[in-house]
């Protein structure tokens, strides 16, 4: 049925280059999908599959940065899938959105292999804490699908030498590495820390189908200037500001 227009907000991303409809209450995309999109090493003409695309922010940010992509999104919640379709159309972008559980993909998706699979899976396992009151927020933050299944489906949908790119809470890194083992290789981890000297709170993870490169753990990418918050307003580093405001890439260090 979808959200009523009165229940939506219209939010600017990439310095106003994209206008995204989101629910006023429930799960709302912040900087995480933008950072994910910036980290994907996609090239014009390649195919992208986003698992759990929500309102489409990550895919649409990636499509804005890299022209000529073929993008498919899968979202289990029909109202969010509808938003993703509306957002793509409103921003003049081409994105095919499928309403489906990622464990039961439509045949049109199962029949294909993709150059990139991207995802922002739930940051918490179902057995941590209590469910959020809003169903959309609960599904985005915890959900019913084990992380192992996300990784298994992603690996199966990748073409040979294709990349998986994801963002998640650093506390799930051990589970991520276990789930990737034996499925994908060339695993790289770029931690994201709020400030210099702070422990990372998020990780960007990249792996490649059929790769044999050694595991790489990079120094944290620092998101804010200074050792602590000292003034009102934003304090993003120049690099992160360029990602969030200008759609700049966020490359991993060179191997």
The average pLDDT across 47-76 equals 98
pLDDT score for 143:
66
What digits encode the pLDDT tens for the residues 92-104?
A: 999 999 999 999 9
Distances (CA, A) of 169 to 42, 123, 192, 223, 247: 23, 5, 10, 15, 23
Q: Which of 157, 59, 48 is nearest to 112 (CA)?
A: 157
Contacting residues for 214 by C-beta, under 8 A, at least 6 apart: none
Mean pLDDT of all residues belonging to the chain: 92
pLDDT at 254: 83
Q: What is the mean pLDDT of residues 112-130?
A: 83
Q: For 2-11, 81-90, 154-163, which range has the lowest pLDDT when averaged over its residues?
A: 2-11
Q: What is the pLDDT of residue 1?
A: 59
As a whole number of angstroms, the distance between CA 63 and CA 16 comes to 15
> What confidence score (pLDDT) does residue 132 get?
46
C-beta of residue 160 within 8 angstroms of C-beta of residue 210: yes
Mean pLDDT of 80-92: 97
pLDDT, residue 231, reads 59
């Amino acid at each position: 049925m979808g959200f009523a227009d009165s229940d939506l907000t219209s939010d600017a991303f990439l310095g106003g280059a994209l206008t995204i409809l989101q629910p006023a209450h429930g799960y709302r995309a912040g900087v995480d999908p933008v950072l994910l999109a910036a980290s994907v090493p996609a090239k014009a003409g390649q195919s992208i599959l986003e698992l759990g695309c929500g309102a489409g922010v990550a895919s649409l940010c990636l499509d804005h940065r890299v022209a000529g992509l073929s993008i498919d999104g899968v979202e289990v919640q029909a109202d969010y899938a509808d938003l993703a379709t509306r957002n793509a159309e409103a921003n003049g972008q081409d994105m095919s959105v499928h309403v489906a559980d990622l464990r039961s993909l439509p045949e049109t998706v199962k029949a294909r292999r993709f150059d990139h699979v991207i995802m922002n899976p739930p940051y918490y396992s179902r057995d941590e804490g209590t469910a959020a009151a809003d169903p959309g927020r609960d599904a985005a933050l915890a959900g019913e699908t084990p992380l192992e299944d996300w990784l298994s489906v992603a690996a199966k949908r990748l073409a040979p030498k294709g990349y998986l790119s994801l963002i998640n809470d650093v506390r799930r890194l051990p589970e991520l590495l276990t789930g990737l083992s034996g499925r994908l290789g060339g695993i790289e981890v770029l931690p994201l820390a709020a400030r210099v000297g702070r422990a990372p709170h998020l990780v960007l993870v990249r792996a490649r189908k059929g790769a044999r490169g050694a595991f790489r753990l990079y120094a944290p990418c620092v998101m804010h200037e200074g050792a602590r918050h000292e003034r009102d307003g934003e304090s993003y580093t120049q690099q992160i500001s360029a990602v969030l405001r200008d759609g700049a890439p966020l490359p991993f260090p060179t191997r």
